[in-house]
Structure 1
Amino acid sequence: MDWRPEWTGGWRNWIRPLVMSIYFLVLVIALPLCVWELQKNGVQLHLQAWFVGGLFVMMAIPISLWGILQHLVNYTQPFLQRYIIRILWMVPIYALNAWFALRFPDEAIYLDTLRECYEAYVIYNFFAYLMSFLRSEFSRLEHHLELKQSSVKHIIPFCCLPSWESGEKFLTHCKHGALQYTVIRPITTIIALICALAGVYDEGHFSFKNAWTYIVVINNVSQIVSNSFA
């Protein structure tokens, strides 16, 4: 026997209006506060940019939330939609991160740390989504790849490297290429945070004496491996 209240069974009917109503209420409160902040500070150029950015944030978030709610309400393919929902959360997280970082630049390093860790999480979910979709279409995915082509060539500029054997080995290489970034990115992000707190990060300046240069190189190499070998 189900002891849950009756109203919980029809949550698909009220969840979207509820979320949109809460968002509208927050918007009604936040917008006057933004205007008051502008007037209080004499409408400086930096705050003008922050206000304009806020308008775009307020447009992006409801669109993303609506897409997320649509998937939750029509949750008919959980093995795919769980990944889609996690990916869609990237828009509100990135939008709010950029907006708050613009207003509070001294605290941006902490916000960026959370954002970049979520970026790695999204990369993992996107790869998992692709694998789940392909395996739902082809029950014997490795065998299907082997029949389609015996080997896989690298893209430019790595086309001179030996081709990969198709099938299971190719999928293994793809997993390693994509997932190594999901490990390296959070590690370099935490190192960047520690270096920033220690005063040796010096973001935006290429120099062998700061940590930012080395972290950028490591991240870019990891991204190249992820994009070119996955």
Structure 2
Amino acid sequence: MCGERCHIVCSQWRLWIRPLVFFLYGVIILGFVPYLVYTLVIQGIDTFLIAWLIGGIFVFMAIPITIWEIVQHLINYTKPKLQKHIIRILWMVPVYALNAWLVLGFPKWAPYLDAARECYEAYVIYNFMMFLLNFLDDEMDLDATMETKPQTEHFFPLCCLKPWRMGREFIHRCKHGILQYTVFHLMTTFVAFVCGQAGVYEEGKLSPTNFVAMYCLVLFYKAMRRELDPMSPLAKFLCIKAVVFFSFFQGVAIMFLMKAQFMHNLFGIVDDSPESEAKERKTASILQNFLICIEMFIAAVAHHYAFSYKPYMDEEYETGNCCHTFLLIWDISDVRSDIREHVYVVSEGMKRRLTSRGGGWPGGATAVGGSNGGDEHTRLIAPHAHSGSQGTHRYMSTSDSEHDIVIEQGEGSDPEDMKAI
């Protein structure tokens, strides 16, 4: 009898595994962590070592949540054009968490680890913009739909600027704002790394490029809010913004508090000597990375719900090999083609303005598309029933590997078999 019950319980593991995991996480956060802190303080362990150990607990609770979500997307890889960007975004939590935890334990590695993290940060914002464009481009003729929209004005305090003309120009300006952030952030990260090695770089400086990138995302969302509603863009946008910008402003705030000597008594900094300044920078770095370790656990839970794999589940669709799919995620030739295409568009736009041959951007719209109702799962799994346009997809970024798959399937497969490509 006991053997049969155990077999039934094991066979229905999907029903109890999630509550069990949440219960264990709750026990660790509410019980084990406070007990560990109390024990270490009583034993007189160094405060920085305590921060490293506690940060590690939260990091290694956050990473399994993200890995689980990534694996589920790979198993249910029914919409490669969208899910490849989602998986790239989900990797942000492990990258941030491991970076913060390793910098806590090995401060000498900080320049190298922070440079890698900032490069991936720019990559994530680019992928989120492409995720939005690919979703809309699969549903409608995006250029024509945008042209039918009422004029989108700039936000305060930029409301005095001339609005971007709706249509292809508006889309490309938003996309350009993201691409310039991706390219220039890589360049400035390299410069900051070199200057840091030379000892002439100071952390906590503001950079205008990340504000431009996020501004373009917000403006694009404002223009296409109704069309994006079925895929719950606000939750996804807030997850990206919280991780990238909250951690950035948090670091700036900590540096400000240190410079203003509001936290000197708390961390035992007593004078303005060079040794105290070095301790001030070290303490600010430790506090920032410790908080990121804890926040990445919260971010992992938020990403689990915001970028869920469930809308992409389709029992009738046969997905390919997960290992092959995983390798496709890291093919960044689509980024290269997007940058090359946009450089061409910008150069053509400049030529038009210089020669006064009109204000339009190259490649205008040719047909009007629409957007139908339905939730995220319905519109993603059944695009043939909810698609507003069967024309060419202008904004779908395709990597070289994916292009080869499309060609191979197009030569010997049914059109129905290609619906997820």
- Aligned equivalents of 1:133, 1:69: Cα separation in 2: 21
The corresponding residue for 2:214 is 227
| 1:192 alignment partner in structure 2 | 192
Q: Percent identity?
A: 53
Question: Hey, what does 2:68 align to over in structure 1?
Answer: 66
Instruction: Give the distance between the partners of 1:102 and 1:148, measured in 2 at CA.
Output: 49
Question: In 2, distance between residues paired with 1:98 and 1:195?
Answer: 21
> Which of the residues 68, 90, 93 maps onto 1:91?
93
Q: 2:185 & 2:45 partners in 1: Cα distance?
A: 38
Paired letter, 2:142: L
Residue 125 of structure 1 corresponds to: 127
- Which deviations, in whole Å up to 9, do the C-alpha atoms of 1:56-83 show, x marking residues without a partner? 1011000000000000001111110011
Match of 1:30 in 2: none
Q: Is the 8 A contact 1:181 1:226 kept in 2?
A: yes
Q: Which residue of 1 aligns with 2:78?
A: 76
CA contact (8 A) 1:154 1:229 kept: no
User: Residue 50 of structure 1: CA displacement?
Assistant: 0.6
For residues 126-151 of structure 1, give each alpha carbon's deviation from its aligned partner in whole angstroms, at most 9, with x where no partner exists. Answer: 1111110010121x1111111122x2
Distance 1:137 1:43 in 2: 58
Read off the aligned partner of 1:180 and give its amino acid letter: Q
Residue identity in the other structure for 1:183: V
Q: Does 2:161 match 1:161?
A: yes
Distance, in Å, in 1 between the alignment partners of 2:142 and 2:114 is 37
Aligned length: 178
Kindly provide the amino acid, as one letter, of the partner of residue 122 in structure 2: A
Distance 1:47 1:58 in 2: 17
Taking the aligned partners of 1:120 and 1:229, their CA distance within structure 2 comes to 14
1-side partners of 2:146 and 2:112: how far apart?
43
Q: How big is the shift at 1:42? A: 6.4
TM-score with structure 1 setting the length: 0.73
Distance (Å, rounded) in 2 between the aligned partners of 1:193 and 1:131: 33
Q: Find 1:44's aligned residue among 7, 29, 46.
A: 46
What's the counterpart of residue 275 of structure 2? none
Q: Is the 8 A contact 1:154 1:228 kept in 2?
A: no
Q: Which position in structure 1 is the counterpart of 2:149?
A: 148
Separation of aligned partners in 2, 1:108 and 1:164: 41
Which amino acid is 2:114 matched to? D
Name the residue aligned to 1:15.
none
Per-residue displacement from partner, 1:147-198 (whole Å, max 9, x unpaired)?
A: 122x221011111111111010100110111111001111111111101111
- The residue type equivalent to 2:192 in the other structure is A
Higher relative contact order (CA 8 A, sep 6+): 2
SS of residue in 1 equivalent to 2:66: helix
In 1: Cα distance, 2:137 partner to 2:80 partner:
14
Runs of 4+ in 1 over 4 A off after TM superposition: none
Contact 2:175 2:216 in 1 (8 A): no
One-letter code aligned to 2:76 = N
Give the CA deviation at 1:224. 2.1
Partner residue in 2 for 1:207: none
Establish whether residue 53 from structure 1 lines up as the match of residue 55 from structure 2: yes
The 8 Å contact of residues 54 and 99 in structure 1, kept in 2 or not, is answered as yes
Deviations 1:17-47 (CA, angstroms, capped at 9, x unpaired)? xxxxxxxxxxxxxxxxxx9xx8xx9621001
Q: Which has the larger radius of gyration?
A: 2
Q: Which structure 2 segments of 5+ residues have no match? A: 1-35, 218-421
Residue identity matched to 1:146: E
Letter in 2 for 1:55: I
